[in-house]
């Protein structure tokens, strides 16, 4: 019974418990905090496997950036709109446990019956030490053998960021030129038909943002008294 095995047992038990917490906690914020605990223990396992750089990166990227993003998103969402706590219909829960157990048994048999691989590569621990450490070894391989994949990864990140900005744009910037006004409603009819309309926005947005000339907008007339939008809002 070596100390290494003790540390491995502690880290992996904490990791799996926190993982179960992610699935079982009712509050999404609690799930996110449990995920932080799980990822810190994953980083500890990486360090035990001699991948110090990936361990640090796991903490910086996942617990530092992605989880903060998740927490921000949870807090941006109206909490009354969150779906109520639900872990599946009884049949669904049973099926997921069965499928999980089968998958785990399959992987377990595959692991037990496999033949251990030999140390075929050049990056033994002594060699990595001689190269100056884990970071130097990864850098040399990544920027020579995997240079093309490195460039493609940067492209993927750029596309992801641009896509996130486009998806996250408010609707009023996407469809700014439609106005719906109601004929059965006094509100808005007089001041919007006047030339160069300036009116109070109920959303306390400065009225200057709504002063586009009438001719440049599509005006939709409806009989529904509630179908009244300001220019810049999307019609419901």
Partner 1 sequence: MDLTTNHFLFVSAALFVIGMMGVLTRRNILIIFMCVEMMVAAVGITLVAFSHETATINGQVFFLFALAVAAAESAVGLAIVVALSRQGRAPDVEEMQTLKN
Name residues contacting partner 1, limited to 121-140 (CB under 8 A): 121-125, 127-128, 134, 137-138
Apex 44 CA angle, 42 and 46, nearest 5:
70
> Considering CB under 8 A, how many residues would be counted as binding partner 1?
94
Site for partner 1 contains 147 (CB under 8 A) = no
Dist. CA 30–CA 85, nearest whole Å? 13
Cα 39 to chain centroid distance, Å, stands at: 15
Among 37, 133, 146, 187, binds partner 1 (CB under 8 A): 146
Q: Which is nearer to partner 1, 138 or 192 (CB)?
A: 138
Q: Which is nearer to partner 1, 215 or 236 (CB)?
A: 236
Q: Which is nearer to partner 1, 8 or 199 (CB)?
A: 8
Residues within window 71-130 making contact with partner 1, judged by CB under 8 A: 72-74, 76-78, 81-83, 86-88, 92-93, 95-97, 99-101, 103-104, 107-108, 111-112, 116-125, 127-128
Dihedral sign of CA atoms 29, 163, 234, 210 in order: positive
Q: Are 201 and 207 in contact (CB under 8 A)?
A: yes
Dist. CA 142–CA 82, nearest whole Å? 42
Dist. CA 43–CA 56, nearest whole Å? 7
Burial of 90 (0-12, 13-18, 19+ CB in 10 A): exposed
- Which range of residues in 65-73, 175-183, 188-196, 218-226 is near partner 1 by CB under 8 A? 65-73
Q: How far is the CB of 73 from partner 1 (least distance, A)?
A: 5
Dist. CA 164–CA 168, nearest whole Å? 6
Site for partner 1 contains 222 (CB under 8 A) = no
Q: Which is nearer to partner 1, 68 or 219 (CB)?
A: 68
Residues within window 148-207 making contact with partner 1, judged by CB under 8 A: 149-150, 153, 156-157, 159-161, 163-165, 167-168, 170-171
Q: Which is nearer to partner 1, 43 or 192 (CB)?
A: 43
Q: Are 67 and 48 in contact (CB under 8 A)?
A: no
Q: Which is nearer to partner 1, 61 or 183 (CB)?
A: 61
Q: Are 43 and 55 in contact (CB under 8 A)?
A: yes
Among 23, 147, 183, 194, binds partner 1 (CB under 8 A): 23
């Amino acid at each position: 019974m070596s100390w290494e095995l003790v540390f491995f047992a502690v880290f992996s038990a904490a990791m799996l418990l926190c993982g179960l917490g992610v699935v079982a906690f009712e509050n999404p914020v609690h799930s996110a905090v449990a995920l932080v605990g799980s990822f810190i223990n994953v980083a500890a396992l990486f360090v035990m496997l001699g991948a110090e750089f990936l361990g640090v990166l796991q903490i910086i990227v996942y617990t530092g950036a992605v989880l903060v993003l998740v927490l921000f998103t949870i807090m941006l969402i109206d909490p009354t709109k969150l779906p109520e706590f639900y872990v599946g219909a009884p049949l669904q829960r049973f099926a997921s446990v069965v499928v999980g157990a089968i998958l785990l048994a399959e992987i377990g048999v595959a692991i037990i019956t496999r033949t251990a691989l030999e140390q075929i590569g050049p990056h033994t621990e002594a060699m990595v030490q001689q190269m100056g450490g884990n970071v130097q070894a990864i850098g040399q391989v990544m920027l020579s053998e995997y240079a093309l994949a490195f460039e493609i990864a940067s492209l993927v990140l750029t596309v992801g960021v641009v896509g996130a900005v486009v998806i996250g744009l408010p609707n009023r910037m996407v469809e700014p030129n439609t106005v719906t006004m109601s004929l059965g409603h006094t509100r808005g009819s007089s001041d919007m038909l006047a030339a160069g309309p300036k009116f109070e926005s109920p959303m306390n947005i400065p009225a200057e943002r709504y002063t586009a000339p009438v001719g440049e907008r599509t005006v939709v007339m409806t009989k529904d008294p509630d179908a009244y939008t300001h220019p810049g809002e999307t019609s419901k």
